[in-house]
Amino acid sequence: MSDVSDWWRTAIIEMQPGQIKLRGHPIENLIDQVSMTEMIWLMTTGSLPSQAQKRLLDAALVAAVDHGPQAPSIAVARMAITCGIGINSALASGVNTLGDIHGGAGEQALSLYLEIRDSLDQGVPLQSAVDETLASYRERQGVHIPGFGHRFHKPTDPRAAPLMAVLRATAEEDAQIDGRFALIAETIQSELSHGRTQGIAMNIDGATAAIYGSLGVDPTLARGLFCLSRSVGLVAHAYEQAMQGGRNKGPTPPDYRWTYDDPNASST
């Protein structure tokens, strides 16, 4: 570090009095010229997206905005706003629940897809790459394969098919879009469904992972983009709850009680 100016190093923003540049673009050239989706791509990757990239990112962001108050992130944001905190804190409370189990499946699915993609790059046939990677994943992580099946949407997640349709369409139109990720995801779906009366369908996490893989997005950034998308729903729910009112709303209505395991109760 040569001096205090090297404490933070960034290629994202340059700022002087009367001047702001984002990824090299003067802010006045971006305002009213690019969409928010384009701006997200510019800020996270360093370049403005092609039309195909914009279309795919927009589809993934739109699909993930909300999943109702039964989703912990949404429920927490609504409960938090009834505690008297600001909407920014309610948003942060909801985002902070997006962990490996609730919110992390897209990142995990993309990591799995990338393992398969790497095998394809080494000349392994698609079906063999899927079979070998799934077997290895189960040995390391257990039987659950992220991105497939849904506890609420049975038999199919209504968001997956349109996301995969736009991925296939854009991959045909633009060579920058790696269409192999659609094949990877669909082959996994077929493999998981083999021999079952009712198959295990791809869910939103599996579909958005295929989109982010086709865009060349890193798994860590994929989770960040999911959190960004879900933040829209969190703000909407927190604001709605603020307008409805209510004080100290917990996870259940006041008349409902939890199960108490009395340590002094005699065992039978």
- Give me the CATH number covering residue 202: 1.10.230.10
Please state, in angstroms and rounded to a whole number, the distance separating the CA atoms of residues 132 and 191.
12
Once rounded to an integer, what is the mean pLDDT over residues 118-131? Answer: 97
Per-residue model confidence as pLDDT tens digits over 27-39: 999 999 999 999 9
Residue 33 domain flag: yes
Does some domain include residue 233?
A: no
User: Is residue 85 one of the residues assigned to a domain?
Assistant: no
CA distances from 138 to 4, 114, 134 (A): 48, 16, 6
Q: What are phi and psi of 145, to 5 degrees?
A: -105, 115
Query: Whole domain around residue 138: which residue ranges?
Result: 105-221
pLDDT for residue 152: 78
Are 29 and 120 in the same domain?
no
Q: What pLDDT, on a 0 to 100 scale, did the predictor assign at position 1?
A: 58
> Among candidates 150, 222, 151, 147, which has minimal Cα distance to 189?
147
CB 13, CB 21: distance < 8 Å = yes
Task: DSSP for 231-249, please give it.
Answer: HHHHHHHHHHHHHH--SS-
Percentage of residues of the chain with pLDDT beyond 70: 98
- At 237 the pLDDT is 98
pLDDT number for residue 6: 84
**Among 260, 170, 161, 251, CA closest to 206:** 161
| Angstrom distance (rounded) from CA 238 to CA 74 | 8
pLDDT band at 196 (very low <50, low <70, confident <90, very high): confident
What tokens were used for 141?
């992580």
Please check whether residue 198 lies inside any domain of the structure: yes
Per-residue model confidence (pLDDT) at position 256: 87
Same domain, 111 and 31: no
109 and 191 co-located in one domain: yes
Average pLDDT over residues 45-65: 97
Q: Is residue 245 part of a domain?
A: no
Is residue 153 scored above 80 in pLDDT? no
Nearest to 70 by CA among 233, 225, 209: 233
Do both 112 and 215 map to the same domain?
yes
Residue pair 145/192 in contact (Cβ under 8 Å)? The answer is: yes
Q: Residue 133 — pLDDT band, cuts 50, 70, 90? A: very high
Selection from 64, 30, 28, 34 nearest residue 51 by Cα: 34
Scored b (16 or more CB within 10 A) or e, 15-30 reads: eeeeeebbbeeeeeeb
Question: Residue 54 belongs to what H/E stretch?
Answer: helix 51-63
Are 22 and 127 in a shared domain? no
At residue 4 the predicted structure's pLDDT band, cuts being 50, 70 and 90, is confident
Q: What is the pLDDT, as a whole number, of residue 55?
A: 98
Phi, psi (rounded to 5 degrees) for 187: -70, -40
Residue 232 lies in a domain: no
| pLDDT at site 194 | 83
CB atoms under 10 Å from CB of 194, counted, come to 9
* Mean pLDDT calculated for residue range 96-108: 94
pLDDT band at 2; cut points 50, 70, 90: low
Query: For the chain, what percent of residues have pLDDT higher than 90?
Result: 82
pLDDT of residue 268: 56
**Amino acid (one-letter) located at 200:** I
Q: What is the pTM of this model?
A: 0.93
Q: Do residues 128 and 213 share a domain?
A: yes
Angle of CA points 215, 218, 222, to nearest 5° = 80
Q: Do residue 38 and residue 130 come from a single domain?
A: no
pLDDT class for 122, splitting at 50, 70, 90?
A: very high
pLDDT tens-digit readout, 224-268: 999 999 999 999 999 999 999 999 999 888 888 889 999 988 765
What was the pLDDT predicted at 267? Answer: 62
Q: Is residue 96 part of a domain?
A: no
Q: Is 114 helix (H, G, I), strand (E, B) or coil?
A: helix
* Mean pLDDT for the chain overall: 94
For residues 262 and 150, the model is more confident at: 262
Q: Does 44 reside within a domain?
A: yes
Same domain membership, residue 117 and residue 214: yes
Total structural domains within the chain = 2
